Amino acid sequence: MNDQKLINGYPFIAYTRTAYTDAETQQRARDFYTEMDQRRTCRDFSSRPVDKRVIEDLIRTASTAPSGAHKQPWTFCAVQDPAIKKQIRIEAEKEEYESYNGRMPAEWLADLAPLQTGWQKEFLEIAPWLIVVFKKSYEIKADGTKGNVYYANESVGLACGFLLAAIHQAGLAALTHTPSPMNFLSKVLDRPENEKPFLLIPVGYPAEVCWVPNIQRKLLENISAWY
Ligand code: IYR
């Protein structure tokens, strides 16, 4: 059993991890980078089913992200019901049609052109799962009163990052879709008032023929500064 003690009356447990050699640490950092560097946002999904237990574990991994004061201000809604996916597609396309045809300024559209995105979101029905991530702007305590959450955007963003990494590591593909505005998701999924839609993530196997834009990531020297 783990060592445990009270610090100012609060329970703490000893945290231990394998102490790797310097060479092992170097290798592990490189290996994980190599794996994650293979991740691509995918717009062409296979309809091949993905077992619910896989999605459960992906969400469990997302929930290991740190959060402000450990409030875990997130809800992951996993949708596989075709009728609900269809409804989400219809509502998302309604908004995205308006966005792509007038709401988005020319520069934004030009920046998106190399990615060949558009208002049509057929992947919302093809991908076997949609994970809709909701951010809690406050929590509802057991006694029904409101409680604060802290750094909710950062916390849920981190959880989404963990989720995307887990999806990739499992051999699956994802797409971070940002229908705007996306309040329709609260209605379709009947979410409580304290939850706001944050990100809509189709998850599945990539289609056998799946094209992704030939874009490059910025180099380390262009994204880092060393002191
Ligand atoms: N919401 C639009 C536009 C869009 C936004 C981002 I951030 C992208 O990386 C790509 C597209 C959409 O989801 O199509």
CA 1 to CA 152: how far, in whole Å?
33
8 Å CB contact between 194 and 138:
yes
- Count the neighbouring beta carbons within 10 Å of the beta carbon of residue 99: 17
Task: Locate the ligand 1 atom nearest the alpha carbon of residue 104 and give its number.
Answer: 3
Q: Which atom of ligand 1 is nearest to the CA of 115?
A: 10
Which protein residue's CA is at the shortest distance from atom 5 of ligand 1? 178
- Testing ligand 1's pocket by substitution, the residue of 93, 103, 177 carrying the most ligand atoms inside 8 A of its CB is 177
> Which residues have a Cβ under 8 Å from the Cβ of 216 and sit 6 or more positions away?
none
Predicted pLDDT at 1? 57
Name the strand (E) or helix (H) holding 60.
Answer: helix 52-62
The total number of residues written for the chain in this structure: 227
pTM: 0.96
Where does residue 116 fall: left (phi above 0), alpha (psi -120 to 50 degrees), or beta otherwise? Answer: left
What is the average pLDDT score of the chain?
97
- What's the CATH architecture for 40-215? 3-Layer(aba) Sandwich (3.40)
Assign 115 to helix, strand or coil.
Answer: helix
Tell the residue nearest (CA) to atom 11 of ligand 1: 117
Residues in the chain where the model's pLDDT stays below 50: none
Residues with CB under 6 Å of ligand 1 are 96, 112, 117, 177-180
For residue 147, the SS3 value is strand
Closest ligand 1 atom to Cα of 177: 13
Q: Where are the domains of the chain?
A: 40-215
17-76 pLDDT tens trace: 999 999 999 999 999 999 999 999 999 999 999 999 999 999 999 999 999 999 999 999
